[in-house]
Amino acid sequence: MTTSANAKLGPALIGSALLLFITAAGAASQTTAAPSFLSGKVTAWDQAGQTLSVKVEFAAADFKSKKQGDFFFIAYLFPSRHKIRHRGCNGPDGPFEVVNRGGEIEFDHGSRGESWETKDGKAPAGLLALLSAAKDRPRAEDIRLIDPEEIYELKTLPVYWLGNAPVEDSLGFIEKEFEAGVAEVQESGLFAISAHDSPKAYDFLKAVALGSYRSEVRKNAVFWIGESHDPRSVADLKSILAKSGDDEVREQVVFALSLNGSREAVEELLRIAKGAPDHEIREKAVFWLGQKASEEAVRGLKEIVEGPDQDVKESAVFAISQLPKQKAVPMLIGIAKENKSPSVRKKALFWLGQTGSDEAIKLFEEILLKKD
């Protein structure tokens, strides 16, 4: 009988009932103080014992009851695996003004740009979500991380402060919104997921990388797998490379391997550079080996220059030219003198000319005088 009666209630009535229930149940313990890093139209709702999903439902019901428009923000803290730092590109320049532009969160910091970085050490991080109340259930339009050590001004839209969320609650909220398919959430939400201090965050990234999502989304997941430095990451990136039929995703795997500082990652890059069936993938691996400039990579580049694939050999010469000058110049001189391929020798001479080194000038003098 109860089920039949509830089925006749419209979404608006259910939302109103939920608001009345939560308000009555939590009135005694509702927190009224907003955190110091949020300013503007802030409503604090830090109901002890309530799950994050219930708090979000409360925020949506309260927002709808006040008929303030279609969009609002929620914000909370969650346990992060590292410290998140959000800065203006030119250093401190006042607070970040937070606005909604076409369903995307934008941080205005005096038009000087912004930068993100992560630092070692676990610490709480903030999450800010832009929600639409235009449909039956609140739907996230964008999700961003925020830095509790900065100030965020929300002047144009209200924000509901939901307090501290357990890591599993926070992951559950983001994953649910991610699966709803909003493009902005799928792109920005993976950064937020990667910050969570839980093995489930890494598992979700892997599932997305191997899933049927858009190429850009899978590439984003691959990047955060590489950045995670998880002990499983090299093996998982190898698996993604083998299973993916998307060239862009495969190239992103090579880049993600270059982010990993382990010997295992360098060895995998060398394996790809020497023997991957895909020519473009081999070239990408050669490029990132050069950028890493490790001793293992240098030895591998020497072997590639002597190998059979002409285009890859020439890419290896370029990669060598990007090494620190004290390493690059002697290697390029050796190639210019000894390599069997005229075009490879020519490439080496070209890049030697860009170094401006005394050793390069001596080689040019030797070659030119010999020709005379």
User: pLDDT tens digits, residue range 4-58?
Assistant: 333 333 444 444 444 444 444 444 344 457 899 999 999 997 666 789 999 999 8
Domain ranges of the chain: 1-183, 198-259
- The whole-number pLDDT of residue 175 equals 97
d(CA 24, CA 47) in angstroms, rounded, equals 11
- The whole-number pLDDT of residue 90 equals 63
Longest dimension (CA), the chain: 105
d(CA 313, CA 343) in angstroms, rounded, equals 10
- The whole-number pLDDT of residue 91 equals 60
- 29 by Cβ neighbours in 10 Å (0-12 / 13-18 / 19+) ranks as exposed
- The whole-number pLDDT of residue 295 equals 65
Which residues in the chain come in under a pLDDT of 50? Answer: 1-31, 372
- The whole-number pLDDT of residue 127 equals 98
Classify the C-alpha dihedral 264-301-276-283 as positive or negative: positive
- The whole-number pLDDT of residue 10 equals 45
- The whole-number pLDDT of residue 365 equals 73
Q: Among all chains, which residue has been given the structure tokens 């439902």? A: 57
Q: Please tell me the CATH code under which domain 198-259 is placed.
A: 1.25.10
Cβ atoms of residues 350 and 363 within 8 Å:
no
d(CA 123, CA 195) in angstroms, rounded, equals 10
Cβ contacts of residue 129 below 8 Å, gap of 6+?
73, 74, 75, 140, 142, 143, 144, 177
Strands 114-119 and 123-132: what pairing?
unpaired
Over residues 255-301, the pLDDT tens digits come to 999 998 788 998 899 899 988 889 899 989 988 887 776 566 677 78
Cβ atoms of residues 220 and 190 within 8 Å:
yes
- The whole-number pLDDT of residue 25 equals 44
- The whole-number pLDDT of residue 210 equals 96
